[in-house]
Structure 1
Amino acid sequence: MLKQTTLMLVLACCCTFATAQEADVERAVLDYVEGFYEGDTSKLHRSVLPEVQKYGYYRLKDKKTYAGEPMSFEQMLKYALSVKKRGPVSPEAPKKVELLDVQDQTAAAKLTAWWGTDYILLGKYDGKWKIVQVLWQSPPTS
């Protein structure tokens, strides 16, 4: 009986740890998208590593071809500040987070936002989840 109780306690602790890890990763991704939607640079500082590598493919005006473009951490902050000046994105704008994998030091997530889809890699730095890399594209033409 003691072994069974110990095993149940260990499993409960592992599940609680995994759930907390997942919640923290999801919060980091939400801080990232909300930082852009709300123009809140403090959320970007909290969730994104300053050395982040972000690269995206946006659809050109011909709507058939894509062009690629990097975005630095400083450019992220400038974009958020421009949103703050003109007003936040609509509350109905999508911000769907799908956790693809969460381990104890690394994680991967997919974000669907108004601008398209971001594939996000995160790492844990001093106990906090930070976005390390982002690869995104505009919504595909169907």
Structure 2
Amino acid sequence: MKKSIVLFVLLATFSFVNAQSNAEKESVEKACLNYIEGFYEGDESKLKASLQPSLNKFGFWKNKEGDYEQQNPMSFENALAYARIVLEKKQFPKPDAPKKVEVLDVGNSIASAKITAWWGIDYILLSKRGDKWMIEQVLWEGPLEKS
């Protein structure tokens, strides 16, 4: 009888922890999708929902000679301004543009993810603020290589 109770408690604990970790992973995915969709749709509210005001985003773009050059950093305000331009000028990506999120790791208060979008790839670092995952840092490289 004691073994049955111990086994039940262990299984219940495992199920709870697994469900909790799945919920955290889904929350990280949601923050990353808000990020991509915010830029794709020109939706400032999605960016505000996923970006820390102290955002640090920078990356590398391939020049005409084929060399990668570091681009100017993008702040939280720059990200919102970019979204406004996308919406105002209707510069939406093609419907089949990549929109992939891979959650790499989720800790108690930090997480990492890889995003594939029309502009290339982004590596994302997130922090948990209260019960919400927020993007702190982005390091990106574009464009995607044609295969």
**Aligned: 1:47 with 2:50:** yes
Aligned-partner residue type, residue 79 of structure 1:
Y
**Which of 130, 134, 137 is 1:133 aligned to?**
137
CA distance in 1, matches of 2:93, 2:31: 19
Q: Given residue 85 of structure 2, which amino acid in structure 1 is its aligned partner?
A: S
Aligned pair partner of 2:95 in 81, 91, 98: 91
Output the TM-score relative to the length of structure 2. Answer: 0.91
Q: Once the 2 structures are TM-superposed, how far is the Cα of residue 140 of structure 1 from its aligned partner? A: 5.7
Secondary structure at the counterpart of residue 56 of structure 1: strand
> How far off is 1:61 after superposition?
2.4
Q: Does 1:36 align with 2:32?
A: no
Native 8 Å contact 2:54 2:76 kept in 1: yes
The question of 1:100 aligning with 2:104 is answered yes
Q: TM-score, normalised by structure 1?
A: 0.95
Q: CA deviation at 1:89?
A: 2.1
- Structure 2 contact 58–139 (Cα < 8 Å) conserved: yes
**1:23-73 deviation per Cα after TM superposition (whole angstroms, max 9, x unaligned):** 0000000000000000000000000001011011011123x1122121111
Corresponding residue of 1:66: 68
Counterparts of 2:101 and 2:64 in 1: how far apart (Å)?
A: 28
2:21 is matched with which residue: 18, 22, 28?
Answer: 18
| Counterpart among 69, 84, 100 of residue 81 in structure 1 | 84
CA RMSD of aligned residues (A): 1.2
